[in-house]
A = this chain, B = another copy of it.
């Protein structure tokens, strides 16, 4: 394994995977803080900070940041999720130090100028409008809210028009000072990378970070329930879900295997039953998203108004069947899919850098591929059935729907149908 890891004086971990045959590298800083790290009055500030980090530092304007990386043909981007925020660049190998320098600058020296802030608040108001115009995205916001009501983990990442417009530069600074601390940040790089050189740069350039002290986010409490929005879309966009498994919990790997068997590809049960045998959907899939202390397991589908009534019972039948009929053949297929997927991700510097950073944040170390393969290899068909039974019958299901959903059952009825 070519992965090397060094912990800096400030607690930040530097991880690299050298791929010497490449001409480029991907590198980024991932922070263990996201939407769920926000306090009540901070809804949307994680994402606003992720935008404002590109709007100027003590020594660079917003335009200079963009030009510095794009003049050498690189690109720079960022993304905010529920538990993490990532800032990442892809550059040619000679520009790795430049990229690291820019990342360090925007993460320690951003100015949050009032005029820039006002314009960026308008940009995010537009982004909120764009997200609401995409029902496939919007339905997941409703789903998360229904699963975790009245908690930061259930709120939208983008915030609301009102919350985003209200923020001052001071709110951003307080959130950043609290959460962007060395031992909650990982600098990960993959591609044509010199580990020792990157560590030296990082040691110098990230010297201003506070080493630790970030508070833990409010504990997630899955409750379930429903959120619906009747609208004039062509399709009913639906997500049905349950509490999933936390990263470090016992059933995590079995839940991952279950999600693949149910809806992970063309040979999966939902694709075969819902699309291939019945022609009810173009898109149907299942997912398992783990958090530090909870998770969600679900099925997403979209279908016409006339087909909604047929779709839900067919999906629920497949969930029930999964508690009793998982085959060894299916488990072996998923094992091969996960192994091949890991091998292929090792060949993409961007995928690889993100993977290393997430593993460090979630498990405290990079996980060797052989270890993941070995853990998946221990999952039996019987174990997948057990975890399916636990997931589908525990607590209240979650249901979210957007579109012509007059015929859609309610979350309580879904629970009853699954327990019958």
Contact = CB atoms under 8 A, between A and B. Distances in A.
B67 A235 contact: no
A24 B348 contact: no
A325 to B, nearest CB: 16
B119 A73 contact: no
A184 to B, nearest CB: 27
A356 to B, nearest CB: 18
Contact of A276 (B63, B128, B266, B349): B63
A209 interface: no
Interface string A365-403: 000000000000000000000000000000000000001
Given A24-B343, A344-B90, A129 B66 contact: no
For this chain, the copies found in one complex come to 2
B282 A343 contact: no
Contact of A67 (B73, B74, B92, B267): B267
Nearest to A95: B340
Interface in A112-137: 118-130, 132-136
A347 B344 contact: no
A122 B280 contact: yes
Interface string A134-147: 11100000000000
A2 interface: no
Given A63-B272, A276-B62, A279-B121, A129 B72 contact: no
Interface stretch (A218-226, A249-257, A331-339): A331-339
A72 B344 CA distance: 13
Nearest to A276: B62
A43 interface: no
Interface in A126-185: 126-130, 132-136
Interface in A254-280: 265-267, 271-272, 275-280
A15 interface: no
Interface in A24-50: 24
B21 A72 contact: no
B70 A267 contact: yes
Interface in A290-340: 302-304, 307, 332-333, 336-340
Given A54-B266, A128-B234, 5 more contacts: A24-B347, A66-B271, A76-B266, A129-B304, A130-B136
Interface of A: 21-24, 54, 62-63, 65-67, 70-76, 90-92, 118-130, 132-136, 232-235, 237, 265-267, 271-272, 275-283, 302-304, 307, 332-333, 336-341, 343-344, 346-349, 403
